[in-house]
Homo-oligomer: A and B are copies of this chain.
Amino acid sequence: MEGKGQAFSDKYAADISSIKAAQDRISSYVHKTPVLSSETLNSLSGRKLYFKCECFQKGGAFKFRGACNAVFSLTDDQAAKGVVTHSSGNHAAALSLAAKLRGIPAHIVIPKNAPKCKVENVIRYDGQVIWSEATLQSREEVAAKVLQDTGAVLIHPYNDGRIISGQGTISLELLEQIPQIDTIIVPISGGGLISGVALAAKSINPAVRVLAAEPKGADDAAQSKKAGTIVTLPETKTIADGLRAFLGSHTWPVVRDLVDDIIVVDDKEIIEAMRLCYEILKVAVEPSGAIGLAAILSESFRSNPNWKDCKNVGIIISGGNVDLDVMFESLNERV
């Protein structure tokens, strides 16, 4: 298969070799997540859908793949003082768990507005929480101070070749589990997940289409593709709290060159897709995790002639960390 593939090593922060090396490095730590399917959702979309359930990954999201690869790529000397990150949540939990498995400390800068369940995940995995304000500036400043105080290594949530390589292992698994896949739909935020997925998938089979799904209230990646350069937004507003980051220097070139299109959906479409995930697939997803299904059911995707031949579609359910207090308060009232 590699003979047919393309090598991207000169141009990008990761390539099929670094992704295969990541798979060797992390395979004894990560879950090989199952792929689910539903005739009901196939009928609804008019295609065969294959849901790669990264919500069942350790820590409840795909982020553990990249974090695990980054942490176990460190030399013993580098690792000794621990790792640091600032993150809206899933990367934070993932890094905490990876650090715990290696037996080193994880210093986690978390904005005060992060969802409670994501903070609980960090604490569950013995991450050391340091609070910041909600702004990116405050998060970076607090992280810089922690770096100085501890001498630990900063592990960026997505703009890092080791992270991209770890996330790319999803494609290796998915294309082995469902070889007939012709399209993969991936949530896009900072671009680490889709960069890894695209680099691996297009190396294995250049004909596989890789499409991003992005919330309308944080559509910086769609705007960047149109502008031909990284666009950032003064503010973002979406229920998909995991998809508010902007592209980075290592992810933008991959998104620019290898992502075939970006499908933008609104929050109502995300919630409707989330409901289908719970009610039909029986999978507890977070809003970000449902956006791939929202994209394939959206009018803009259905009416685009470029995608009418997408028949066997892999949809990455990126994570399942969501506060369900309302639902359980209601249930508890019944007993």
Taken together, the copies of this chain in the complex come to 2
Quick check: is A308 within 8 A (CB to CB) of the other chain?
no
* A30 to B278 CA separation, bound complex (whole angstroms): 20
Interface residues of A in 227-275 (CB under 8 A from B): 239, 267-268, 271, 274-275
| Mask: chain A, 21-42; 1 = CB below 8 Å from B; 0 = not | 0000000000000101001100
Closest chain B CB from A116 CB (angstroms): 11
Beta-carbon contact of A278 and B324 below 8 Å: yes
Q: Which of A161-169, A203-211, A325-333 contacts B (4 or more CB under 8 A)?
A: A325-333
Interface residues of A in 154-196 (CB under 8 A from B): none
* Chain B residues whose C-beta falls within 8 Å of the C-beta of A277 in the assembled complex: 284
Quick check: is A334 within 8 A (CB to CB) of the other chain?
yes
Quick check: is A50 within 8 A (CB to CB) of the other chain?
no
Beta-carbon contact of A335 and B239 below 8 Å: yes
* Chain B residues whose C-beta falls within 8 Å of the C-beta of A58 in the assembled complex: 39
Number of chain A interface residues as a range: 35 or more
* Highest count of chain B CB atoms <10 Å: which of A56, A327, A328, A332: A327
Of B39, B53, B267, B324, the contact of A327 (CB 8 Å cutoff): B324
* Chain B residues whose C-beta falls within 8 Å of the C-beta of A79 in the assembled complex: none
Chain B residue with Cβ nearest A55: B282
Knowing A275-B328, A326-B327 are in contact, say whether A239-B334 is a contact too (CB < 8 A).
yes
Quick check: is A285 within 8 A (CB to CB) of the other chain?
yes
Beta-carbon contact of A271 and B335 below 8 Å: yes
Chain B residue with Cβ nearest A61: B282
* Chain B residues whose C-beta falls within 8 Å of the C-beta of A268 in the assembled complex: 332, 335
* Chain B residues whose C-beta falls within 8 Å of the C-beta of A271 in the assembled complex: 328, 331-332, 335
Chain B residue with Cβ nearest A34: B34
Knowing A34-B34, A124-B40 are in contact, say whether A56-B327 is a contact too (CB < 8 A).
no
Chain B residue with Cβ nearest A335: B267
Chain B residue with Cβ nearest A271: B331
* A75 to B231 CA separation, bound complex (whole angstroms): 65
* Chain B residues whose C-beta falls within 8 Å of the C-beta of A39 in the assembled complex: 58
Residues of A within 8 A of B (CB): 34, 36, 39-40, 53, 55-56, 58, 60, 117, 124, 239, 267-268, 271, 274-275, 277-285, 320, 324, 326-328, 330-332, 334-335
Known contacts A274-B331, A278-B324; 9 additional CB pairs below 8 A are A60-B280, A239-B331, A274-B328, A278-B284, A279-B284, A282-B283, A282-B284, A282-B285, A326-B326
11 pairs from A and B in contact (CB 8 Å cutoff): A55-B282, A239-B331, A239-B335, A267-B334, A268-B335, A271-B332, A275-B324, A279-B284, A282-B283, A282-B285, A284-B284
Q: Rank and list the top 4 A-B pairs by shortest CB-CB distance, nearest first.
A: A282-B320, A34-B34, A327-B327, A267-B335
